[in-house]
Amino acid sequence: MASTFHSVSLMTLVSAGLLAACNPKTEAPQHPSGKEKTTKTEMLESGAAILQTDSPLQPMNIYLDGFHADKNNPAHQMEAHHFCRQVNEDFAQCVLFDGNTRQANLIGIEYIISETLFESLPEQEKQYWHPHNYEILSGLLIAPGIPGIAEKELMKGKMNSYGKTWHVWNSAPFGKAGDKIPLGEATLEWSFNQDDEALPGLVEKRDQHMKVSANEKRNERADLKALAKPQAGVDALKGKFPGPTRPLPGVEDKKATNPK
């Protein structure tokens, strides 16, 4: 990628970290079944926090908020809070939660790769990776709490990238009751790639709570369309959402632009 999370200056990230502490809190919608922690368990946790260091979770400090749809059932949608680490210029890994507080539940994982790495994958593997350009250009994907200039630079670095996302806990499906504990098989999640694929109220609820506007971010990122290339998977779920949808200029399916 020409630009990644690393392109944001150190001082900007420090400032972002301070601002992130002021983000509106999204509490976990589920309190897992089970007994309350004992004093002994809490003491063991406190000791571990002091003595056990160098956790692989510590570098996962880039916070993104977006939406996923079940690839096999696109009407099943939810908000996902991503905490990510940029491993190198072409690869990032994220843990997904149903909230952004310490009580949030771990619901899945997402790997993010550059266009270069995606093109190196076997054709059979590519079916698992969803495109990101619509999420960025539409304003649906946000980095809460960081200055606008830093957020836009971050999003610029993710243009033409792809994500592979598995959810393992159906804790907070929009408009439906979630499960108290992880049940069943993992589900492969997909991205939105046209307007009106998101269920009515899904984005609006997030925007109101987080005090952001996806439409404003769409306007602010309009110039990023010049960087957008046709991507695989844009039309993978076309026609499978509950209602009519509308294309967003700049978001095109690779097959549609290179028919065989």
Which contiguous run of DSSP H or E holds residue 167? strand 162-167
What whole-number distance in Å separates Cα of residue 171 and Cα of residue 168? Answer: 9
- CA 65, 71, 74, 80: dihedral to nearest 10 degrees? -20
- State both tokens at 113: 């790769």
Residue pair 172/164 in contact (Cβ under 8 Å)? The answer is no
Looking at every residue in the chain, the average pLDDT score rounds to: 86
Provide the whole-model pTM. 0.85
What pLDDT band is residue 243 in, cutting at 50, 70 and 90?
Answer: confident
What are the pLDDT digits (tens) for 156-213? 999 999 999 999 999 999 999 999 999 999 999 999 999 999 999 999 999 999 999 9
Question: What would the pLDDT profile of 36-90 be if each residue is shown by its tens digit?
Answer: 656 755 555 455 455 546 677 888 889 999 999 999 999 999 999 999 999 999 9
**In the predicted model, is pLDDT for residue 258 greater than 80?**
no
Sign of CA dihedral 170, 172, 175, 178: positive
Q: Has residue 151 got a pLDDT over 60?
A: yes
Let me know: does 119 contact 232? Beta carbons within 8 Å.
no
**Amino acid 13: pLDDT:** 47
Euclidean distance between CA atoms 223 and 155, whole angstroms: 12
pLDDT at 45: 45
Please give the residue that has the higher pLDDT: either 120 or 31. Answer: 120
| CA gap 22, 180 in Å, rounded | 29
Question: Quick check: 84 and 113 in contact, CB under 8 A?
Answer: no
Position 35 scores a pLDDT of 60
pLDDT for 20 beyond 70: no
- Between helix 10-20 and helix 148-157 the angle, nearest 10°, is 110
Residue 34: predicted pLDDT: 66
